Amino acid sequence: MSTRALRKEEEENLLRRADDLCRQNNLRLTPIRERVYRELVQSGGPVGAYDLVDRLSSDKKRLAPVTIYRALDFLRDAGLVHRLATQNSYVVSHGQPDVNAMKIMFVDSKTGETIEVHSTEVAEAVRKAAEQAGFKSVSPFMEVEGELSR
Amino acid sequence: MSTRALRKEEEENLLRRADDLCRQNNLRLTPIRERVYRELVQSGGPVGAYDLVDRLSSDKKRLAPVTIYRALDFLRDAGLVHRLATQNSYVVSHGQPDVNAMKIMFVDSKTGETIEVHSTEVAEAVRKAAEQAGFKSVSPFMEVEGELSR
DNA sequence: GCCGCTAAGTAATAACATTACGTAAAACGA
DNA sequence: TCGTTTTACGTAATGTTATTACTTAGCGGC
Ligand SMILES: [Zn+2]
Ligand SMILES: [Zn+2]
Ligand SMILES: [Zn+2]
Ligand SMILES: [Zn+2]
């Protein structure tokens, strides 16, 4: 099976999982929301909001920024998408939400490429540090910039 | 001694350390740069760039945004100030740069208040996770949102 | 059919950040 | 010391990201 086919299959998996998640939580994955999510899935990496505006607009129909931001807000609230604050961009969240793990988005400083890793070790270490800082709870998401090996 | 006096003393310490650091590295802590740094120190928390524009402008003399951004860039390059990407704001970096520690900025989701903690444990755990992700090096700074205890 | 609710359309604006170019002073080498 | 180079800052315009306010449309219960 080709890489392309694998990739396609992975895309379908993500879309299906999103559908399921929304159904189970009584959330409405409307056409616009699904198109935004699909675009993020297909891009395979972070995409800016205004890029999404362009990509999802046709000659006939130009979407407004606020439409995209609303869809992104929905997808983020659902846990399907992360915002990368350092990049002003948005990226699909992979992996099933493991409550005990820290979801770390490593962002390549050069290319903007991201890789998501879940780590209970980091979660535990951060939890301890948070306690020191007087924080009772912390977000399970973080973003770390770095350099990719190759 | 009053809390206010302690605070004032701490401010003076930071300013002095900044002066020293710049002298030792042949960096020029010009009046504008020092005013920006001082304002951040005195505020005791994160401040937005346009807030700094307002606070450092007088009726006579209005500073341009780019002036502030240039000063911030200098201070960040010098390691004196961090940018909080999730908040679009800037905050003084405390503590002497410990190369082996991760500098974690905990940001209170409600108030925006920040507390900086240095942790070698987190640094080590993140380093391991980075290796998994195929990253050879990572930034020693991270930002984590959470909720302050009180 | 009306009501209440949610999503999306539309327009304007706010908030954040950078580019481009000119001037002046500081630093540096001869 | 003089001319050259570099750095900092002023000024103006522009670019980029995100939100507010209000309206319209669709859907479901009653
Ligand atoms: Zn679907
Ligand atoms: Zn939301
Ligand atoms: Zn000084
Ligand atoms: Zn810089």
Q: Give the nucleotide nearest to A30 (CA→C1').
A: C7
B108 and B74 both lie in a single domain: no
Q: Is the pLDDT of residue A90 over 90?
A: yes
B85 and B139 both lie in a single domain: no
B13 and B64 both lie in a single domain: yes
pLDDT digits (tens, 9 = 90+) for A133-147: 999 999 999 999 999
A16 and A72 both lie in a single domain: yes
CA B73 to ligand 3 centroid distance, Å: 18
Q: Is the pLDDT of residue A82 over 70?
A: yes
A108 and A84 both lie in a single domain: no
Q: Residue B56 CA to nucleotide C12 C1', Å?
A: 30
Q: What is the pLDDT of residue A140?
A: 93
Smallest Cα–Cα separation from A69: which of A60, A56, A130, A59?
Answer: A56
User: Do you know the residue count of chain B?
Assistant: 150
Work out how many domains chain B is built from and give that number: 2
B55 and B15 both lie in a single domain: yes
A44 and A80 both lie in a single domain: yes
A64 and A28 both lie in a single domain: yes
Alpha helical stretches, state H, chain B: 3-24, 31-43, 49-56, 65-77, 120-133
B86 and B115 both lie in a single domain: no
Q: What is the pLDDT of residue B35?
A: 98
Note whether residue A34 is domain-resident. yes
Burial of A125 (0-12, 13-18, 19+ CB in 10 A): buried
Contact status, residue B69 vs residue B49, Cβ threshold 8 Å: yes
Q: Which residue is nearest to nucleotide C8 (CA to C1')?
A: A67
Q: Nearest ligand to the C-alpha of residue B75?
A: 4
B27 and B64 both lie in a single domain: yes
B74 touches strand D (CB under 7 A): yes
- A137 to chain B, closest Cα gap in Å: 5
Contact status, residue B103 vs residue A119, Cβ threshold 8 Å: no
Q: Residue B41 CA to nucleotide D4 C1', Å?
A: 39
A125 lies in which domain range? 102-146
pLDDT digits (tens, 9 = 90+) for B33-50: 999 999 999 999 999 999
CB contact burial A31-57 (16+ within 10 A = b; e otherwise): eebbbbbbbbbeeebbbebeebbebbe
Note whether residue B63 is domain-resident. yes
DSSP per position, A23-65 = HHTT----HHHHHHHHHHHHHTS-B-HHHHHHHH--SS-PPPH
The CATH number of residue A20's host domain is 1.10.10.10
Q: Residue A53 CA to nucleotide C30 C1', Å?
A: 59
Q: Are strands A102-108 and A141-148 parallel, antiparallel or unpaired?
A: parallel
Q: Select from A117, A129, A134 the Cβ nearest to the Cβ of B129.
A: A117
Q: Is the pLDDT of residue A4 over 80?
A: no
Q: Is the pLDDT of residue A49 over 80?
A: yes
Boundary (domain end) residue, out of B92, B118, B133: B92
Note whether residue B97 is domain-resident. no
Note whether residue B27 is domain-resident. yes
Q: Is the pLDDT of residue B2 over 80?
A: no
Check CB contact of A110 with chain B, cutoff 8 Å: no
Q: Residue B1 CA to nucleotide C17 C1', Å?
A: 42
Note whether residue A97 is domain-resident. no
Q: Nearest ligand to the C-alpha of residue B83?
A: 4
Q: Is the pLDDT of residue A1 over 80?
A: no
Q: Select from B109, B132, B139 the Cβ nearest to the Cβ of A146.
A: B139
pLDDT digits (tens, 9 = 90+) for A64-77: 999 999 999 999 99
Q: Select from B116, B139, B145 the Cβ nearest to the Cβ of A144.
A: B139
B61 and B9 both lie in a single domain: yes
Contact status, residue A47 vs residue A8, Cβ threshold 8 Å: no
The CATH number of residue B129's host domain is 3.30.1490.190
One-letter amino acid for residue A10 of the chain: E
- Give the confidence band of B1 by pLDDT, cuts at 50, 70, 90: low
Contact status, residue A18 vs residue A54, Cβ threshold 8 Å: no
pLDDT digits (tens, 9 = 90+) for A97-121: 788 999 999 999 989 999 999 999 9
Check CB contact of B101 with chain A, cutoff 8 Å: no
pLDDT digits (tens, 9 = 90+) for B59-109: 889 999 999 999 999 999 999 999 999 999 999 998 777 889 999 999 999
* Cα-Cα end-to-end distance for chain B: 26
Q: Nearest ligand to the C-alpha of residue A83?
A: 2
Higher pLDDT, A59 or A132: A132
- Average pLDDT on A3-19 reads 89
Note whether residue B78 is domain-resident. yes
A106 and A81 both lie in a single domain: no
